[in-house]
């Protein structure tokens, strides 16, 4: 069950992503994993057929790193708020990971994961996610 607050957070995430990417893009694929004491968020965006990794943006473009890191913090905080919103609902189990897909027309798709992935290494999780979503 989605709440109005969840919808606002999805829009907030989209706005943050648009502000983080300094060039025209077609599609964004974002991975988020939140649990007590752990947060991980990264994304790739596509310009034509070329993926750009979110952590490479400051190196590829002459942008202020402090501003970029502030937006990155906002992104982490938005996903933490979303996770907490799920957690506060009695009808929905909180997700352990999600994939947020946004295209340049504003269309969003979100795939939620509920399995315990806490024992899998971050590198293994990222490799598996990239294989599934960035084929």
C-alpha to C-alpha distances, 78 to 2, 63, 120, 131, nearest whole angstrom: 15, 22, 24, 26
Place of tokens 């402090």: 66
User: Quick one: which H or E segment has residue 103?
Assistant: strand 97-103
**Structural domains present in the chain:** 4-133 (3.30.500.20)
Look at residue 87 in the predicted model and tell me its pLDDT: 84
The residue among 98, 84, 102 whose CA lies nearest residue 20 is 102
Look at residue 60 in the predicted model and tell me its pLDDT: 93
pTM of the model: 0.92
Tell me the mean pLDDT per 10 residues along the chain, length 135.
83 96 96 93 92 94 92 96 86 86 95 92 95 91
Look at residue 18 in the predicted model and tell me its pLDDT: 95
Look at residue 97 in the predicted model and tell me its pLDDT: 96
């Amino acid at each position: 069950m989605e709440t109005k607050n969840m919808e606002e957070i999805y829009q907030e995430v989209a706005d943050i992503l648009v502000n983080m990417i300094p060039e025209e893009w077609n599609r964004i694929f974002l991975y988020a994993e939140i649990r007590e004491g752990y947060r991980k968020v990264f994304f790739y965006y596509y310009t034509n057929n070329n993926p750009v990794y979110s952590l490479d943006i400051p190196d590829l473009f002459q942008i202020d790193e402090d501003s970029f890191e502030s937006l990155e913090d906002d992104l982490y905080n938005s996903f933490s708020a979303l996770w907490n919103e799920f957690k506060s609902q009695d009808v929905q189990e909180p997700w352990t990971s999600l994939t947020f897909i946004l295209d340049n027309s504003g269309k969003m798709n979100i795939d939620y994961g509920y399995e315990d992935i806490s024992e899998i290494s971050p590198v293994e999780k990222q490799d598996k996610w990239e294989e599934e979503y960035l084929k």
